[in-house]
Structure 1
Amino acid sequence: MTILTTERMILTPVAVTDFNDLKAVWADEAFTRAITGRALGEEEVWFRLLRDLGHWQAIGHGNWAMRSRDTGAYVGSVGVLHYLRELDTPFDAPELGWGVATAFQGQGLAREGLEAALRWADTVMKAPRTVCMISPDNAPSLKLAERVGYRPYADGFYKDHLVHLLERPAAV
């Protein structure tokens, strides 16, 4: 499985050893507000972790855990995903997803991790295009998506919530 490095982080495929860090992040309502709308309990986090482990096993890519190179602290996650989401405008390209723990927000780490994952999608996966979905209320993620080249192409509904669908052509 693929390990990515950036100036400040090491990105490793999500592992069972990430569970406690994931529980802490997904229990933080400030983190989950724009993603799920509520904090997640241990069972839901465990099922998300199992999904992500299986994602790597089944298709060879998925979420990376982003950790500080200096301290090993869990920063968040970024991934190239194929979740078969039940959207009214289905995704037809690999999906990028990201989230940074509240304590690390505003430091450029989400962008650093996202750019590493996009380089991988562009050069290794050779995806001609990637997509993402972001809640209209998530201004920081919308701004970040625009900074790395995503542009809106549709609005849709995911689990009865409005989401903006964005696309980005490969940089190479």
Structure 2
Amino acid sequence: MTQPPILETAHLILRPHRVEDYAACRILWSDAQVVRHIGGVPQEAQAVWFRLLRYAGMWPMLGYGMWVIEERDSGAFLGEAGLLSAERGLPELEGVPEAGWVLSPDAWGRGIATEAMQVILDWADRHVDAPSLRCIIDPDNAASIKVAEKLGFTPLTDTELGGKPTRVFDRVRNPPL
């Protein structure tokens, strides 16, 4: 798959990133609250631009990638979610797609991450040839841990990434009937 499909839920549209998303992505990734549990450092403009380019490159190279989460009714940019291969140097992530989500603060606590990731995981179960998916979460990020558990991820191990505690979660693939 070279282009991300558009996925829809009752409240959301998940679509490919576009150049026009740069401004919203810049606001998202430069917000100290947003990155508090994701590396802890707001990203500069160039890093966000390179992030968008990486997102575009994942699809033709890997057959999966990230989506923009857009609110169906308003068209508002709510965040990003999807699958990636980030070559983080963690043996637990070798050869296994990594699930990830990040939301704007105005989308927190509304069930958006769970709704978006559920449709992504359903898609992945049909289209990604992997025995499981994994995600990494800062052990202090109770909200993301709750989302992961709702989605069927279970703790695999505690480790460190960049000198910071990181919990690796695993979700066994649920092949379609």
Scaled by the length of structure 1, what TM-score is found? Answer: 0.94
Aligned match of 1:115: 118
Question: In structure 1, the residue corresponding to 2:39 is in which secondary structure?
Answer: coil
Contact 1:13 1:56 in 2 (8 A): no
1:164 pairs with 2:167: yes
Contact 1:155 1:164 in 2 (8 A): yes
Q: Report whether the alignment pairs 1:61 with 2:54.
A: no
Alignment-derived partner of residue 75 in structure 2: 72
User: Alpha-carbon deviations, 1:102-160, whole Å to 9, x = none?
Assistant: 01111111100010110011112243311000011111001110111111111222222
The alignment-based identity, stated in percent, is 36
Q: Choose which of 93, 118, 139 in structure 2 pairs with 1:136.
A: 139
Q: Residue 90 of structure 1: CA displacement?
A: 3.8
Matched residue SS, 2:160: strand
1:45 aligned residue: 48
Tell me, yes or no, if the aligned pair for 1:88 and 1:157 is still in contact at 8 Å: no
Contact 1:88 1:156 survives alignment (8 Å): no
In the TM superposition, 1:11-50 aligns within 5 A as 11-50=14-53
The CA distance in 1 between the partners of 2:22 and 2:126, in whole Å, is 30
Cα separation, 1, equivalents of 2:89 and 2:18: 26
Counterpart of 1:137 in 2: which secondary structure? coil
Q: Distance in 2 between matches of 1:90 and 1:150?
A: 14
Does structure 2 conserve the Cα–Cα contact (< 8 Å) formed by 1:65 and 1:77? Answer: yes
Contact 1:88–1:158 (Cα < 8 Å) also in 2: no
SS of residue matched to 1:149:
coil
Contiguous gaps of at least 5 residues in structure 2: none
Gaps (5+ residues) in structure 1? Answer: none
Please state if 1:146 is matched with 2:149: yes
1:34-56 CA distances to partner (integer Å, 9 max, x unpaired)? 01202111111111111111112
- RMSD over aligned Cα atoms: 1.3
Give the C-alpha shift of residue 88 in structure 1. Answer: 5.0
CA distance in 2, matches of 1:128, 1:44: 32
